[in-house]
Structure 1
Amino acid sequence: MHVLIVDDEPLARRGIRTRLARHADVVCIDECRDGEEALTILLERDVDVAFMDVEMPGLSGLEVLHRLPVTRRPPTILLTAYDHYAVRAFEVNVLDYLLKPIDDSRFDDALARARSVFNLRSNAQTIDVDHAKRFIARVGRRDIVVGVDTIEWIEASGDYVGLHVGQKTHLLRETMHEIGRSLDPRKFIRIHRSTIVRIDRVAELEALSNSDCIVRLLDGKILRASRSYVSALRLALAQGAHE
């Protein structure tokens, strides 16, 4: 993936560049210090994913995206210190956004979403094959087939993850990172280091004073979304409402 970094703060650009360097399939093709510079590059060069600061001198990140023709807007991950851009971000097809200071786990989640979009554009059939359709849970001597479409939420449980299907919980010997990579990011999203939820099972969000969020599912189950994941969850819900 060819990535463009846009941020007026040198330390912020270096932080993104350092995190991207851990991924062998990513190449940072350029860095921009302001919106005008980013607009020029995005009009001239093909970019697979842009990491875009929202508030910059001159043009903001959202203004850059609004000024681009739709065909030139790359999948974009916004960088911001504020948690109130979800609706405006949806208008320009922002893929995700990261709250500063950036959480490493959230960064990897956002990059995984970008990778899925990149793969989908490269080869629509590949992304269907790559995403898990079912898991096999061991219960005594029995192997239980758990369809991904039946899973409502997933939680970390020691060396296992618990797949919650109705009133039942099926345990798999997997890490949250491993199972998160196998799921379709258009359907599932991480809301906490230890929790993944199916997006279309979310019924209600309730903001807390510490910027965390209470997540109520359709069956009444209460979960908690941590601050660094709330923005991406709101954006995913907004996108789903318009599909």
Structure 2
Amino acid sequence: MKILIIEDEARIAKRIERMTRNFFDKEVQILLCDSLENGLHAIEQHPIDLLLLDLNLNGEDGFEILQSVVVKSFQTIIISAYTDKAISAFNYGVLDFVPKPFDESRLRQAFTRFTTPEKQSNGNIQFLAVKKGKSIKLITIKDIKYIKGAGIYTELHLSDGRMELHDKSLESLEKLLPPQFERIHKSYILCWNEADKLVVEAGGRYNMLLKNGELLPVGRSKYKEIRHKLI
């Protein structure tokens, strides 16, 4: 696992590094950057799994990094004293916001969210960002009908019939999305507002009929849980 820490105060950066190694194993790869420029360069040069980001980098706004990497496949945890920016950060789909000053137990809580496969959504995310050429396009959460896994990407299927590719995996998105999004199959996350009824086919196959007439597969392990929710 490779983790990038972007923090301009060397003492705090070393403290975060120590706590990070305490939680994960001693062999985890940790990169330290002390500026916006170095952080962006590291992100371009190294495939990372987790970003730990301060929002005040020697007077530079860490939000510039957040806005530029929001479409990347890794998860982001903010560690910052700027708690007034927490809601905006969650809107960008960060996994957690750890306010300074912090202790090891609070940072471990954030790391647990990262390592836990089950959904632990904060419910505040307002949009997902997709990269279109050299620009970033924001997709409003309420416009998403369902999300389909597509290899290393995911497909965002929208209410107007369009489809956009996103860099984050289904597992990553499942942790971020609000409660109305339900994993119904290993390859599908559905906005529950779009569900109409379950359809049982010959051979014990299950599908979800959407309000627009589309059919999505339902996993066998999910069938009973979903059936109860529809009663």
What is the TM-score with the length of structure 1 in the denominator?
0.47
Q: Under a length normalisation based on structure 2, what TM-score does the superposition of the two structures give? A: 0.49
